[in-house]
Structure 1
């Protein structure tokens, strides 16, 4: 047992020796920012180390941000010293008000301890795959919002589980002991509807407006159908609100990220001289400043993106692995 520990300890000392040697060469000017390092084979021969030990040393420097692994090209010098304890690869779908809140909360908690590089995949699988695969050895942590139509589990499973933090969407099929901070879309809607059941019952029908391009739509639908079945609620699911399918006596749940359906409902309420919150009900996803004052206030179901960002940062700061359900908040206003 002692002998095994000694062998492992010596291997660790070897790869750290390699790392320190490369850092010394950078600081002395022998290697400059942007220079390519010798190949793994060349370093193995030069230092008399196994290829696996050389790779450990290179990965150690990549995680610290001193060198960068460029896909199919090799390793290049990125900087001359270590500024922080962690290097974080932060991959978002796209920038929105809510994602900006999430990132700012995350950054504020880690700014003194981590270098954070932000990327966007814009729901494009090829971009998503390329960004991750090209950076597998360059970061200590990978914080990812994996909202795409395609199945991305194969790509995500290539990230070591202890470095993987999944945000917002609880991706299924991932292997290993990894972290996540996610919304429970089905459970949150079901709970919210139960909380306002007395208000819903004054309306004729509960209508879920579910656009086809909502990536988590099947989960929202699950929570909606569970509530309607349990309480015998008359219901309907439509893809958008229009003059033809708008009906007084309905209470609408809207998810459109641009709030187009909210606008169409309010326009129809005005056109028909109805009253929002009396003749027609409205529950909208994700709170914005305008929804607090629009039409006297729009009832919302909204994730707490600030808490989500802080929770993800805490997992890194505390060096722990956990799966955390980030609760949504229901804000009842006059539209219901």
Structure 2
């Protein structure tokens, strides 16, 4: 049957974006293969109702992206098969680098991945999604909110979308691969509750600016109350916050650095004078002191699973539990 295209008047996408998306999808699904010719501008204009100018603009964009080529006598044809993937992460960090490295390593060479960051900025997030529509065959997106999906994300074809890291979409057709932030972390703390009772107080360092789900605070307090552990939630660290005989659970990297520096200044030894648990593992946390105890999902596994979704198009609806890695800091 070959490539066919018709305009969806109810779509939020422009006509050019619709045509770009249709060509990318046809290549991704094998309808168009390497060397196959696209309809001529005149043919497509006649069959779809698009103006010649719109088709010329779309074909020019596809050529600029090296998806198609053209010859003066034969027309437009598909270049060597390649699949463009958009991976939109929240920010750059050591464990996100591990995630991306695993994702890229588990995709075939003919997959091109554009890695972008939104830094929890709603305007940037919306603009990046809007600009991506019709450009990619698959989308892997870390949402801004953990409890709801941003409206702009709904413009992406649900069959091409994977929500990553946090948030369960309210649309049952959208695949997700996320973390169990509240229950998973508490299950890990249960494994070291005997160690935690050795400390005078267990502090959760939870700044207002952290994107970590706020429900975790209630889970933390409930865990401490159930195990008769004196606890405290610290929004902002000060020199007085770091005390001998207390344990700390930190979410953000900069808070970990602050406590380590403050402990060193006071000549306090991690794992002896103060306890430390950090969220999300990284190679550096293996090296600080005798190692920092962490609660973390396996980001290499997350990247591998995301890559399988992108290549196979098999939807997954999975919540990864974090694991406790016990090191010398506790």
2:223 to 206, 224, 227: 227
Q: Is the 8 A contact 1:124 1:148 kept in 2?
A: no
Q: Which of 99, 118, 122 is 2:119 aligned to?
A: 122
After TM superposition, give the deviation of residue 230 of structure 1 in Å: 2.7
1:34 corresponds to which residue? none
1:301 aligned residue = 295
Distance change >3 Å, CA 200–CA 90, structure 1 → 2: same
| Cα shift at 1:86 | 3.1
Give the CA deviation at 1:23. 6.5
Q: Tell me by how many angstroms 1:124 deviates.
A: 1.9
Say whether residues 1:95 and 2:92 are aligned partners: yes
Rounded to whole Å, the distance in 1 between the matches of 2:129 and 2:262 is 46
Residues 26-80 of structure 1 deviation map (CA, whole Å, 9 limit, x = unaligned): 9xxx9xxxxxxx7xxx876x42x2449x9xxx8xxx8xxx764xxxxxx876432
The aligned runs of 1:1-336 (5 Å cut-off) are: 14-15=4-5, 24=37, 46-47=45-46, 49-51=47-49, 68=61, 78-79=65-66, 80=69, 81-84=78-81, 86-147=83-144, 153-170=150-167, 172-258=168-254, 261-336=255-330
After TM superposition, give the deviation of residue 215 of structure 1 in Å: 0.7
Q: Distance in 2 between matches of 1:134 and 1:274?
A: 51
Is contact 2:205–2:249 with CA below 8 Å preserved after alignment? yes
Q: Are the counterparts in 1 of residues 296 and 322 from structure 2 also a CA contact under 8 Å?
A: yes
Structure with a larger share of its residues in helix:
1
Maintained 8 Å contact 1:91/1:120: yes
8 Å contact from structure 1 (residues 89, 116) kept in 2: yes
Task: Give the aligned length.
Answer: 290
User: Contact 2:298 / 2:322 at 8 angstroms: preserved in 1?
Assistant: yes
Going from structure 1 to structure 2, the CA distance change for 1:129 and 1:205 (only over 3 Å counts) comes to: same
**Structure 2: stretches of 5+ with no match in the other structure:** 7-21, 24-31, 70-77
Change (3 A) 1:254 1:178: same
Shift of 1:179: 1.2
Conservation of the 8 A alpha-carbon contact between 1:185 and 1:223:
no
Query: Alpha-carbon deviation of 1:196?
Result: 0.5
Does the 8 Å CA contact 2:89/2:115 hold for their aligned counterparts?
A: yes
Aligned to 1:6: none
Distance 1:25 1:156, change over 3 A: closer
Task: Specify whether residues 313 and 278 from structure 1 end up closer, same or farther in structure 2 by C-alpha distance, changes over 3 A only.
Answer: same
Q: Is the 8 A contact 2:276 2:293 kept in 1?
A: yes
